[in-house]
A and B are shown apart, each in its own frame.
Chain A
Amino acid sequence: MSAILTIAEASRLIADKVLSPVELTKECLARIGKLDPALNSFLLLTEERALADARAAEARVMKGALKGKLDGIPIAHKDIYNTAGIRTTAHSKLLEHNVPTKDATTVHLLAEAGTVMLGKLATHEFAMGGPSFDLPWPPARNPWNPEHFTAGSSSGTGAAVAAGLILGGTGSDTGGSIRGPAALCGIAGIKPTYGLVSRAGILPLAFTLDHSGPMAWTSEDCAILLQAMAGYDAADPASANRPVPDFSAELNQGVKGLRVGVIRHFHETDHQVSAATQAGIETGLAVLREQGAVMSDITLSPLQDYHACGFLILIVEAYAVHEPWLQSRFYDYGESFRDRIGLAALVSGAEYLHAIRMRRDLCLEMAAAMADVDVVVTAAQPGEALPIKEVPKWSSFKPNFTIPFNVTGYPALSVCTGFGAGGLPVSMQIAAKPFCEPTLFRVAHAYEQATGWRGQRPAMVA
C-alpha cells in the first residue's frame, strides 16, 4: 500500500496517467477493510458503486476527458446527506431503513465532478449529541488513539480522512460539527459562509445555523472540494445568489501584508485552552508574522455570550424540526440527543426571540471588529481529544470556540497545529469575512506549507 495522497497530489498523478482511479479506490477499500473495524467511521460501504465510479473516471482519463481535479478522487458523505437509492440514517434508529429517492444537491455536485463515492459516514445522531453507545451503530473513534473521541458531529468524516480511508468528505456544521472533528482528528475542515453551499437534501438540525462544507487532509484539498460544492441553489431558501470565486486562486500568494486579528480573550480567559493548544496558536501566529502578516488583538463580547445565543437558537430550532417524533417516539432517540433537545421544552418564545435579537447585535459587533483585519484567529477546541468514555453528557454547555461563526455566519476553518502531551492533535481556528473563503484558504495554506504537520499520519496507518 502506498503513502496516502492528498487530493491535490492524486489529481495531478491521475491527470498525468501515473495513477489509476481504480487502483486508488482499491487502496482506500483495502485500508477501510484493515482499519475501520477499529474506527467505525463507515455506517455503509458502497464498494460496488465506488468501483463503478472509479472505472468511469478511469475511462475518462484514457479518453482525455477528465472532468477536473476531483475526477477519480475517493470520498464519502456524512450520513445526513441524502443519497438516492442508498440508505441515509442520520445514525439514528428513527431512520434506520430510510432510503432517499434523490441526492442532496452537494452529493449530486460532487458526483458530477467525478468523485468516487465510497459510502456513508458516522455522525452524531441527527448531527447533535454524542458520543452515543445506544444507537444502532457504534460511534466513530479517533485514528490517533481509538480509545479517544473524534468530536462531532461529523465524526466519521474526521476519522476516515485522518486514517486515509478517503481523501476527503462532507460534513455539516451547526455549532462546530466540521471544525470540531477536524481539530481533534488533526485534519482541515471549513465551515463556509452561510448561504455559500446548498443544504438542500441534507437533514436539518437548526435552519439558521446549519452549514454544509468539506473536510480533508489539507486546506488546499478543502478548497478543491468546496469549488465543486459551492453555488446558488434555488432548492435551499438561504442560498446566496452570487458568483462563486476560485477558492484556490490565492493559495500561493503568501500572507505578507495580511492583517490578522487575534481574539485572545476567547481562548486565554473566557475558556482557557490547554498549554499545547495555546502553544500551537502562538507558534501559528509567529509563523504568519514571520511571513509578513500584521498582528493585532481583537476584543469581542465574551465567548459565553456567543455560545448562549447560539445554543438557545440551536436547541429551539432543532426541537421544532423534531417535535412530532419527540412527542411520539422519544425513546427511539439515543439518550444524548433526546435529553439535550428536551431542554428546549423549557425555552419560551420570548427567550428565543431575545437570543435572535442578541444575534443581530453580535453580527454587528463581529462586522465592526473585523473591519480592519482580513482574518481572525482563536482556538478551535480547548485541547486534545478526551477518552471517548469520559466525554461528559452535558459537555455542550461548555462554551465552544466554533459557534461564534455559526451565530454570525462567517467562514471559519480549523487547521492542525501539532500534538499535545497525549500525542493527539491540537489545532487553531481561522475565520474570515463573509464570502472571503479564498483569503481563508490563503492563510491556512501558508501556515500548513510552513510547518511539517501535514507529513505526519496516525501510527495505525503506517
Chain B
Amino acid sequence: MGLAFNSWEHWEAAMSKMTEATFDALIERSKLPLTAETRREIYGVSGMLEDMVARVTRAKPREAEPAIIFVPEQRP
C-alpha cells in the first residue's frame, strides 16, 4: 500500500490474476456483446482493477453499520 505511481511501468506490470476462463464467465454473465478484440483489451488491464479491489478489500469487524453511509458532514 502507498506505492508511488510515478510511471506507467507499474501498471503495465500489473498482470491479471484472474484466469481467462473466469474472465469469460463474468463477461458472459454481464451479457456484454464484446468482440474478441475488446475482450483482450479489457482482460489486459484487469490486473489494475484487481489492484484497486485489493486496496478496498480490508478486514472489517462484523458489527452494525449505518443504513446511510455517505453523509458529507460526517463527524468522527
Contacts and interface: CB of A to CB of B under 8 A. Distances in A.
Given A351-B53, A357-B60, A398 B69 contact: no
A362 B51 CA distance: 18
A358 B58 contact: yes
Contacts of B30: 326-327, 345
A193 B46 contact: no
Interface size class of A (residues with CB under 8 A): 35 or more
Given A330-B32, A342-B32, A308 B56 contact: yes
Interface string A265-289: 0000111100000000000000000
Contact of A435 (B8, B58, B73): B73
A302 B2 contact: yes
Given A308-B56, A330-B34, A398-B5, A409 B45 contact: no
A342 B55 contact: no
B47 to A, nearest CB: 10
Which among A208, A338, A397, A434 has the highest number of chain B CB atoms within 10 Å? A397
Given A304-B1, A346-B18, A309 B56 contact: yes
A311 B52 contact: yes
B58 A342 contact: no
B31 A327 contact: yes
Given A270-B4, A339-B38, A342-B42, A347 B49 contact: yes
Going nearest first, the 3 A-B pairs with the smallest beta carbon separation are A409-B72, A345-B30, A308-B52
B36 interface: no
A312 B70 CA distance: 15
A133 interface: no
A313 B66 CA distance: 18
Interface size class of B (residues with CB under 8 A): 35 or more
> Do most interface residues of chain B lie in helix, strand or loop, or is the interface mixed?
loop
A156 B69 CA distance: 34
A390 B26 CA distance: 31
B56 A312 contact: yes
B32 A364 contact: no
A354 B8 CA distance: 26
A17 B38 CA distance: 59
A195 interface: yes
Nearest to A398: B5
A343 B42 contact: yes
A298 B46 CA distance: 33
Nearest to A368: B76
B26 A346 contact: yes
Interface in A281-328: 302, 304-305, 307-309, 311-312, 326-327
B41 interface: yes
Contact of A394 (B11, B31, B65): B11
Nearest to A330: B33
A256 B36 CA distance: 60
Contacts of B19: none
Interface in A327-343: 327, 330-331, 338-339, 342-343
B8 A392 contact: yes
Contacts of B57: 351, 354
Contacts of B23: 346
B49 A271 contact: no
Contacts, number: 126
B38 A308 contact: no
A304 B45 contact: no
Contacts of A330: 32-34
Contacts of A410: 72
B72 A347 contact: no
B70 A409 contact: yes
B74 A360 contact: yes
A399 interface: yes
B41 to A, nearest CB: 6
Given A354-B58, A397-B48, 20 more contacts: A208-B70, A270-B4, A271-B6, A302-B1, A304-B1, A304-B5, A309-B56, A311-B52, A327-B32, A331-B33, A342-B42, A343-B42, A343-B45, A347-B53, A351-B53, A356-B69, A356-B70, A358-B58, A363-B71, A408-B72
B57 to A, nearest CB: 5
A345 B3 CA distance: 26
A458 to B, nearest CB: 29
Contacts of B42: 339, 342-343, 346
Nearest to B35: A331
Contacts of B18: 346
Given A363-B74, A410-B72, A271 B8 contact: no
8 contacts: A208-B70, A308-B55, A343-B42, A345-B27, A345-B32, A347-B49, A347-B53, A434-B72
A367 interface: yes
A193 B48 CA distance: 30
Contact of B73 (A371, A397, A434): A434
Contacts of B34: 330, 342
Contact of B45 (A270, A347, A394): A394
